[in-house]
Amino acid sequence: MENNFLFNPDENRNYQMTKVLDCNAYTKKFGVTLSEADALTLMESRSATLRDQQRVEFGEGILPKIISAFCDSAYIYQDNYLDMLQTLQDIFYLYKNESLDELSDDELIKYMREEFEGKCQGSLEYLEDTSLAEFARAIRKRSHGFLGKKEEE
Q: Which chain residues interact with another protein by CB under 8 A?
A: 1, 3-4, 6-8, 50, 54-62, 93, 96-97, 101, 104-106
Task: Decide whether 7 or 148 has the Cβ nearer to another protein.
Answer: 7
Given a contact cutoff of 8 angstroms between Cβ atoms, the answer to whether 99 and 140 are in contact is yes
Task: Decide whether 31 or 101 has the Cβ nearer to another protein.
Answer: 101
φ, ψ of residue 129 to 5 degrees: the values are -90, -20
Given a contact cutoff of 8 angstroms between Cβ atoms, the answer to whether 103 and 142 are in contact is no
* Nearest distance, CB of residue 123 and another protein, angstroms: 25
* Nearest distance, CB of residue 8 and another protein, angstroms: 7
* Nearest distance, CB of residue 101 and another protein, angstroms: 7
Task: Decide whether 37 or 56 has the Cβ nearer to another protein.
Answer: 56
Task: Decide whether 8 or 68 has the Cβ nearer to another protein.
Answer: 8
Task: Decide whether 62 or 91 has the Cβ nearer to another protein.
Answer: 62
* Nearest distance, CB of residue 22 and another protein, angstroms: 16
Given a contact cutoff of 8 angstroms between Cβ atoms, the answer to whether 77 and 47 are in contact is no
* Nearest distance, CB of residue 65 and another protein, angstroms: 8
14 CB contacts (<8 Å, ≥6 apart)?
A: none
Given a contact cutoff of 8 angstroms between Cβ atoms, the answer to whether 66 and 109 are in contact is yes
Distances in whole angstroms, Cα of residue 106 to Cα of each of 9, 39, 82, 87: 26, 22, 21, 17
